[in-house]
Structure 1
Amino acid sequence: MLQHKAFKFRIYPSHVQIMQLRKTLGCCRFVFNHLLAKWRHTYQVTGKGLSYNACASQLPDMKREWSWLKEVDSIALQSAVRNLADGYQRHFNKQNYLPRFKSRKHPVQSYTTRYTNGNIAVKENRLQLPKLGWVPYAKSREIEGRILSATVRLAPSGKWFVSLVCEVDIQPLPLTDRILGIDVGIKYLAVPSEGPAMDNPRYTLRYERLLTKWQRILARRKQGGSNWSKAKRKVALIHERIRNSRLDAMHKQTTKWIRENQTICLEDLRIANMMKQRHLAKHIADASWGEMSRQLHYKAKWYGRTIKETPVFAPTSQTCHVCGYKQAEVRDLSVRGWTCVSCQTPHDRDWNAAQNIKAMAQ
């Protein structure tokens, strides 16, 4: 089955290429902000916004008025217009807030270009991008399928990355009859109904002292100076290391679960509401349960697996998976083990919840 799959690599542009990349980022930001202002003005006057075609038709006039827009990739400018139209469409579908003006001071900058007439190509350890030429990249794996688009991104750490979206023929994995229930937590990141529990590496706590040190150094330095910029980049590198470590562990475990099980049962958590508990918010954010669920969902779609979820607020921890008796005292998170008063079965809190998730989701 044909699926869209992204391949992310770090690129190493030259000084001239970096100047061209920054110019492209600035032009895309200018086009987005200019058309966003026109969209808002039109909506205030007429009560109706602008369509994508109405915005895209203004690009030729903008290039005549500001000739420097011709120096960058034209498809990247069109993608900026498409992002604006998609932002308003998602807002009207109540999926996000209204689009806002882009700032050059935002820590993450990116633009997207699409494959047209061979403008994006890969040869050995070099990558060709429109208006940029050949750029060396860290070839960590082979690129599969047909290239559809490329997104160039400037990370807060100052590194440049490219994400190639390709159309890949992904074959489903062989069928199996195994069903797995997964209970997520903080002490253990995940406790499956079968197999060993996944330890919580707590990467944020691991780098907390180093992060605190450099954040204090950053706070003491004058904003905008060269030493301030160095400290800011150091803080971004520490955050990047935390994120990469977390994603690496998550990808390895979710891929293992997908390969071994046909059906995976999860909890339908309201993570945003759980983050309001100030004593647990940092640990919940570090656990990254939402990222685990996201990876399991798209990998299941790729490889022909099934994801099922329990109903919201299902008492998976409080219910005995043997007799079904509900013991309300187990709501206290400090209760890690308990004995059912009905059938006298001893339970581990997380493993019992995993068994209930497996049964309730089915």
Structure 2
Amino acid sequence: MSRAVKRAFKYRFHPTNAQAAELSRTFGCVRLVYNMALQARAEAWAERRERINYNATSALLTAWKKTADLAFLNEVSCVPLQQALRHLQTAYTNFWARRAKHPTYKSKRRSRRSAEYTASAFRWRNGTLTLAKMTEPLHIVWSRPLPDGASPSTVTVSCDAAGRWFVSLLCDDVTTQDPATGIVGIDAGLDSLLTLSTGEKITNPRHERADRQRLARAQRDLARKQKGSANRAKARVKVARIHARIADRRRDHLHKLTTRLVRETQAIVIEDLAVRNMVKNHRLARAISDAAWRQLRTMLEYKAAWHGRDLIVVDRWFPSTRLCSACGALAQKMPLNVREWICPCGAVHDRDVNAARNILAAGLAVTACGDDVRPQRGTSRTGQSSTKQEDPRAAKGIPFFRAGRMSRHHRSPARSFT
């Protein structure tokens, strides 16, 4: 089986001086238009309790271009400016739906420098890409080919803090959904990045720790430079390059790991970790951030959707670590320094492997009885626990605790896994 999906292919490119200057102006205009539209919408709501939509901000943009102070907005392509207004509309839609916080202003130094071009603002011809307001095509480093016959529908150009230029091409692609069997439970950790219910442990590479001395030395050099000087700008780029190296290696490792998991198993069970709350622990914040558990889950979500897999998310309040996977007894305490423990029933447990097996059992309970989608501390929406909703013989060996929830993006009817 195969499935048509929208997929972005990201490449490095090396702009000429004229192209870099044009793109830098575009980035500044996009940031300005976004901030002005955000201010207009915020003022309209504060003064008149009026919600301004995309059409109203688009009309404001036309009026801004006719003023003497903002006439320079006509020098760049109008498409990235309109796309900035659409992005602001999306941000407000998510805010009204309570999926995100209120939009904030873009900063010149901290915000991502990017511009989005639709099909009317670029020319794709014989594998060359030419953006609006430019006479020469971009010099793209084709690290991998595009799908056969693919033509980009949207192009996003960006520049990171290390001074590297990237272009992202959004194309139609076809992903194969090869058949797979089995279900695996995954416990995320720090010593071992992932522990599978099969007993396999995947070592945590700790990319940030490997470059910590280089990063500290570069940051000390940056602190010694005078603010506003050219040497400080060079030192800042050196720090950014080290951060980029760490992020690239981490992302590459997570891509390889998640691709392997999705291709080998039909269903994956993970925990709903509150990473934002966990990084408030100042002793573990650096290690948790380096593990990138949230990025790992995001990759699993969209790759599972591509390949037709099921991603089951167990409720964060499920006591997977303190629960005996053999008899279902619940330990009262389980400090972090306890890596192995013995249950009163005589079973000897590795802390991480036991947690992964309990997560797997919770995932089986979800597939057997269709537990609620939303994470709740008590029972499900039906008022019964997972084990009470199914036949007692089917629940044999599954601990009597609320199992968890199926990911809202990949929930499917119950099936059997072998």
Cα pair 2:181 2:264 within 8 Å, conserved: no
Moved more, 54-63 or 185-194: 54-63
What is the match of residue 339 of structure 1? 342
1:87 & 1:234 partners in 2: Cα distance? 33
What is the match of residue 213 of structure 1? 217
> Residue 122 and residue 318 in structure 1: after superposition, are their counterparts in 2 closer, same or farther (change >3 A)?
farther
What is the match of residue 242 of structure 2? 238
Matched, 1:23 2:25: yes
Question: Which SS does the other structure have where 1:321 is aligned?
Answer: coil
Matched, 1:135 2:138: yes
Matched, 1:81 2:85: yes
Moved more, 252-261 or 96-105: 96-105
Question: Which SS does the other structure have where 2:153 is aligned?
Answer: strand
What is the match of residue 48 of structure 1? 50
Question: Which SS does the other structure have where 1:150 is aligned?
Answer: strand
Report deviation, 1:153.
0.8
Runs of 4+ deviating beyond 3 Å: none
Matched, 1:153 2:158: yes
Query: TM-score, normalised on structure 2?
Result: 0.82
Report deviation, 1:154.
1.2
What is the match of residue 260 of structure 1? 264
Report deviation, 1:305.
0.5
Report deviation, 1:298.
0.5
Opposite residue 75 of structure 1, the aligned amino acid is V
Give the counterpart of 1:112 among 108, 113, 116: 116
Opposite residue 309 of structure 2, the aligned amino acid is R
Cα pair 1:193 1:358 within 8 Å, conserved: yes
1:240 & 1:122 partners in 2: Cα distance? 32
Matched, 1:226 2:225: no
Cα pair 1:107 1:155 within 8 Å, conserved: no
Structure 1 gap segments, 5+ residues each: none
What is the match of residue 15 of structure 2? 13
Cα pair 1:311 1:361 within 8 Å, conserved: no
Give the counterpart of 2:312 among 308, 314, 327: 308
Q: Which digits, 9 at most, give the CA deviation of each residue in 1:22-57, with x for residues without a partner?
A: 111111122122222222222222111211111112
| Aligned residues with identical type, % of pairs | 34
2:101 & 2:336 partners in 1: Cα distance? 35
What is the match of residue 284 of structure 2? 280
Cα pair 2:124 2:151 within 8 Å, conserved: no
Structure 2 gap segments, 5+ residues each: 365-418
1:340 & 1:38 partners in 2: Cα distance? 62
Question: Which SS does the other structure have where 1:211 is aligned?
Answer: helix
1:202 & 1:324 partners in 2: Cα distance? 34
Moved more, 159-168 or 208-217: 159-168
Question: Which SS does the other structure have where 1:116 is aligned?
Answer: helix
Report deviation, 1:162.
1.1
Cα pair 2:199 2:353 within 8 Å, conserved: no
1:297 & 1:30 partners in 2: Cα distance? 34
Report deviation, 1:241.
0.3
1:21 & 1:96 partners in 2: Cα distance? 29
Write the mapping of 1:115-194 to structure 2, written as runs, cut at 5 A.
115-116=119-120, 119-121=122-124, 123-124=126-127, 126-132=128-134, 133-144=136-147, 145-174=150-179, 176-194=180-198
1:325 & 1:4 partners in 2: Cα distance? 47
2:261 & 2:247 partners in 1: Cα distance? 21
Question: Which SS does the other structure have where 1:161 is aligned?
Answer: strand
Number of residue pairs matched by the alignment: 357
Report deviation, 1:84.
1.7
Report deviation, 1:288.
0.6
> Residue 47 and residue 69 in structure 1: after superposition, are their counterparts in 2 closer, same or farther (change >3 A)?
same
Report deviation, 1:142.
1.2
Give the counterpart of 2:206 among 185, 202, 209: 202
Report deviation, 1:200.
0.5
Which structure shows the bigger proportion of residues in helix conformation?
Answer: 1
Q: Which digits, 9 at most, give the CA deviation of each residue in 1:150-170, with x for residues without a partner?
A: 111110001111111222222
Moved more, 93-102 or 204-213: 93-102
Report deviation, 1:99.
2.1
